[in-house]
Structure 1
Amino acid sequence: MQQTLIAAVWQPKLVCLVVSALFTVPATAADNDNSVLPEVAVVGAKGGDETSSYVAKNTKGATKTDTPVIETPQSISIVGRKELDDRNVQNLVDALGYTAGVRTELSGVDSRADTYMIRGFKSGMDSESGASNLFIDGLKVQAGGQWNRASFDTYGLERVEVLKGPASVMYGQVVPGGMINLVTKKPTANHVNEIRLQGGSFDQYRISADIGGSLADDDSVLFRLVGSFNDGNSQLDHTDLQRTYFAPSLLWKISENTSLTLLAQYQRDKGGSTFQFLPYYGTYAAGAGGRRMSNSNFLGEPYWNSYDREQSLVGWAFEHRFNDIWQFRQNLRYTNLETEYKGVVNRGTGLSYTAGVTQVPAVGIVGLRTFAYGASKSEGVAVDNQLQADFSTGALKHTVLVGLDAQRINWTGDRRTFNQASSMSIFNPVYGLSPTVSLSQLTTASDYDVDQKQTGIYVQEQLAWDKLRFSIGARYDYFDQVAFNATNNRRNGFNDHAFTWNTGAVYLFDSGFAPFVSYSTSFEPGALGIAILNDESIKPIKAKQYEAGVKYQPQGSNSLVTASVYELKQENRLAAAGSCPESIDGSCYTQVGEARIRGFELEGKAEVTDSLTLLGSYTYMDSEITKSATVTETEGRDLSLVPKHMASLWANYAFNGQLDGLSAGLGVRYVGGSYGMTRAAGPADNPYLHTDSYTTYDAAVRYNLKSFGYHGAEVAINASNLTDRTYVAACTALTACYYGMGRVVNATLKYNW
Structure 2
Amino acid sequence: MIKRLLSLMLLCFLGTHVWSQNTTTILTGTIVNKEHEPLNGVNVVLKGTNYGASTNATGTFVINNIPEGNYILVISTIGYKTKQQSVTLHQKKQTINVSLEEDISMLNDVTISGKKSESYAKETVSSSLRLNEDLSKIPQNVQVVSGELLKDQQVFSIMDAITKNVSGAQMIEHWGWFARINMRGFRLPAFRNGMNVEMTWGPLAEDLSMVDRVEFVKGPAGFMMAAGQPGGFYNVVTKKPIKDTFANVSFATGSYNTYRGTIDVGSYAANGKLQFRLNVMTETADSHREYDNSSRFSVVPSIKYNITDNTSITTEFTLQKAKMKAGSAYVFAPASAGFGSLGRNFSAIDPAYPDMNVDEYNTFTNITHKLNDQWSVQAQYMYMNYNQEGATQWPASIADNGDLVRSVTSADALGTYNIAQLFVSGNFYTGTIEHKILAGFDFNEKRFWADWNQGGIIDTDHPFNIFNPTYGDVTMPVFDRAEDIKTRGASNGMGQTTRGYYVQDELSFLQDQLRVTLAGRYTVADMYSYGVPADANKFTPRFGVSYDVFPSLTVYGLYDESFYPQQGVKYINENTTAPLSPEDANDIEGGIKKSWFNNRLKTSLTIYKIKKKHMSTADYTNGVPTDDGGVSYPYSIEIGEVESKGIEFDMQGQITPELNVILNYANTDVEDNYGNKVAGFAKHITNGWLNYAFNSSSKLHGFGASVGYQYQVDRSSWNWGADNKSDLPDYFRMDGGVFWKYKTFDVRLNVNNLLNKYLYSGANYGTYVYWQAEPGRNFRLSLSYKF
TM-score, reference length from structure 1: 0.82
Q: Could you say what secondary structure the match of 2:159 adopts? A: helix
The number of equivalent residue pairs is 664
| Contact 1:663/1:703 (8 A) holds in 2 | yes
| Residues 687, 519 of structure 1: alpha-carbon distance in 2 compared, 3 angstrom cutoff | closer
Shift of 1:281: 4.6
Please tell me whether the aligned partners of residues 155 and 162 of structure 2 are also in contact (alpha carbons under 8 angstroms).
Answer: no
Separation (CA, whole Å) in 1 of partners of 2:173 and 2:337: 14
Is the 8 Å Cα contact of residues 704 and 740 (structure 2) preserved in structure 1?
yes
Aligned match for 1:419, one of 444, 452, 457 = 457
Does the CA-based 8 Å contact 1:97-1:669 persist in structure 2?
no
Find the residue that maps to 1:597 and give its secondary structure: strand
**Structure-2 separation of matches of 1:326 and 1:189:** 24
The residue number in structure 2 matching 1:671 is 712
Kept after mapping to 1: 8 A contact 2:691/2:704: yes
- The secondary structure found in structure 1 opposite 2:746 is strand
Is the deviation greater in 370-379 or in 244-253?
370-379
CA distance in 1, matches of 2:595, 2:264: 33
Instruction: Write the deviation string for residues 104-159 of structure 1: whole angstroms up to 9, x where unpaired.
Output: 34126x41211210111122xxxxxxxxx111001111414xx4532211111110
Measured after TM superposition, the shift of residue 642 of structure 1 is 1.8
- Give me the whole-angstrom Cα distance separating, in 2, the residues matched to 1:597 and 1:322: 43
Kindly name which structure, 1 or 2, has the bigger radius of gyration based on alpha carbons: 2
Q: Which runs of 5+ in 1 are unaligned?
A: 1-35, 124-132, 353-362, 485-490, 627-634
2:420 aligns with: 383
The residue aligned with 1:139 is 195
Secondary structure at the residue paired with 2:307? strand
Distance in 1, matches of 2:489 and 2:438, equals 47
Partner SS, residue 84 of structure 1: helix
**2:310 is aligned with what amino acid?**
N
- Opposite residue 184 of structure 2, the aligned amino acid is R
- 1:669/1:687 CA distance change after superposition, 3 Å: closer
Which residue of 351, 376, 382 corresponds with 2:399? 351
Task: Mark the CA change 1:190 to 1:469 in structure 2 (over 3 Å): closer, same or farther.
Answer: farther
Distance 2:463 2:117 in 1: 52
Whole-angstrom CA distance in 2 between matches of 1:392 and 1:539: 42
Counterpart of 2:88 in structure 1 is none
1:239 corresponds to which residue?
292
- Letter aligned with residue 728 of structure 1: Y
Say whether 1:552 aligns with 2:598: no
Query: How far apart, in 1, do the equivalents of 2:699 and 2:514 lie?
Result: 48
Does the alignment pair 1:739 with 2:773?
yes
- The amino acid of 2:519's aligned partner reads G
The 1:294/1:305 distance shift into structure 2, 3 A limit, reads: farther
CA contact (8 A) 1:193 1:752 kept: yes
1:206 is matched with 260
Letter in 2 for 1:525: P
> Does residue 299 in structure 1 map to residue 348 in structure 2?
yes
Partner of 1:161: 215
Counterpart in the other structure of 1:31: none
Q: Identify the residue that residue 629 of structure 2 maps to in structure 1.
A: none
Q: Which amino acid aligns with 1:749?
A: L
Letter in 2 for 1:423: P
Comparing 733-742 and 253-262, the one that deviates more = 733-742
Assess, with a 3 A threshold, how the Cα gap between structure 1 residues 640 and 175 changes in structure 2: closer, same or farther: same
Deviation at 1:616, TM superposition (A): 0.2
Distance 1:204 1:315 in 2: 31
Whether 2:492 is the aligned partner of 1:448: answer: yes
What amino acid sits opposite 2:522 in the alignment?
Answer: Y
SS in 2 for 1:641: coil
Question: Residues 159 and 445 from structure 1, CA distance in 2 versus in 1: closer, same or farther, beyond 3 angstroms?
Answer: closer
Deviation at 1:538, TM superposition (A): 4.0
* Distance 1:245-1:81 versus aligned 2 partners, 3 A rule: same
Instruction: Sort the Cα spacing of 1:254 and 1:199 in 2 relative to 1 into closer, same or farther, 3 A.
Output: same
Work out the CA distance in 2 between the residues paired with 1:591 and 1:343: 27
Kindly state the Cα deviation for residue 91 of structure 1 after the two structures are TM-superposed: 1.8
Distance across 2 between alignment mates of 1:88 and 1:610: 21
Give, as a single letter, the amino acid of the residue that structure 2 aligns with 1:668.
Y
Q: Which runs of 5+ in 2 are unaligned?
A: 1-33, 41-55, 61-76, 79-115, 483-487, 626-631
Contact 1:689 1:731 in 2 (8 A): no
- 3-state DSSP class of the match of 2:782? strand
1:111 is matched with 176
Superposed displacement of residue 448, structure 1: 2.4
1:481 matches 2:527: yes
SS at match of 2:662: strand
Cα 1:84–1:191 shift into 2, 3 Å: farther
Contact 1:157-1:185 within 8 A present in 2 as well: yes
Over 3 Å counting, the alpha-carbon distance change for 1:580 and 1:445 in structure 2 is farther
Deviation sequence 1:212-261 (CA, Å, 0-9, x none): 02122x21110010111001212321111100111110000111100000
2:122/2:146 contact within 8 Å kept? yes
Is residue 325 of structure 1 aligned with residue 362 of structure 2? no
- For the pair 1:182 / 2:182, whether they are aligned, the reply is no
**SS of the residue aligned with 2:492?**
strand
2:655 is matched with: 608
Pairing of 1:361-380 with structure 2 (within 5 A): 363=401, 365-380=402-417
Q: Secondary structure at the match of 1:202?
A: coil
Higher mean C-alpha deviation, range 712-721 or range 524-533: 524-533
Corresponding position of 2:363: 314
Determine the structure 2 residue equivalent to 1:566.
608
Residue 142 of structure 2 is matched in structure 1 by 76
8 A contact 1:37–1:256 mirrored in 2: no
| 2:375 and 2:425 in contact (8 A); partners too | yes
Q: CA deviation at 1:278?
A: 2.4
The structural deviation recorded for 1:440 is 4.6
1:300 deviation in Å?
1.7
Deviation larger for 432-441 or 641-650: 432-441
Contact 1:169/1:501, CA 8 A, preserved across alignment: no
Question: How far is 1:492 from its partner?
Answer: 0.8
Does residue 655 (structure 1) correspond to residue 687 (structure 2)? The answer is no
Distance 1:543 1:51 in 2: 42
Separation in structure 1 between the aligned mates of residue 59 and residue 781 of structure 2, nearest angstrom: 30
| Distance (whole Å) between structure 2 residues aligned to residue 284 and residue 323 of structure 1 | 69
Counterpart secondary structure, 1:673: strand
Structure 1 pair 742–438 and aligned structure 2 pair: CA distance change class (3 A): same
Q: Deviations over 1:710-746 (max 9, x none)?
A: x210111012212221122232422432223433311
* TM-score, normalised relative to structure 2: 0.79
Deviations 1:37-85 (A, max 9, x none): 9978999899999993211101147951211000001111110000000
The CA distance in 2 between the partners of 1:469 and 1:687, in whole Å, is: 43
Identical aligned residues as a percent: 22
Counterpart Cα distance in 1 of 2:638 and 2:730: 32
Kept in 1: contact 2:291–2:349 (CA 8 A) = no
Tell me how far 1:665 sits from its aligned partner.
Answer: 0.5
Letter in 2 for 1:429: P
TM-aligned CA deviation for residue 613 of structure 1 = 1.3
Query: After alignment, is 531-540 or 271-280 more displaced?
Result: 531-540
Q: Which residue is 1:644 aligned to?
A: 683
Distance 2:147 2:720 in 1: 42
Q: Is the 8 A contact 1:102 1:116 kept in 2?
A: no
Shift of 1:452: 1.9
Matches of 1:679 and 1:662 in 2, distance apart? 46
Aligned-residue Cα RMSD (Å) equals: 3.1
State the one-letter code of the partner of 1:141.
V
d(CA) in 1 for partners of 2:337 and 2:520?
46
What secondary structure does 2:750 align onto?
strand
| Separation (CA, whole Å) in 1 of partners of 2:601 and 2:585 | 32
CA distance in 2, matches of 1:477, 1:37: 41
- Give me the whole-angstrom Cα distance separating, in 2, the residues matched to 1:275 and 1:102: 27
Q: Is the 1:168–1:521 contact (alpha carbons within 8 Å) kept by the matching residues of 2?
A: no
2: CA distance, partners of 1:312 / 1:571: 36
| Structure 1 residues 259 and 283: CA distance shift in structure 2, 3 A | farther
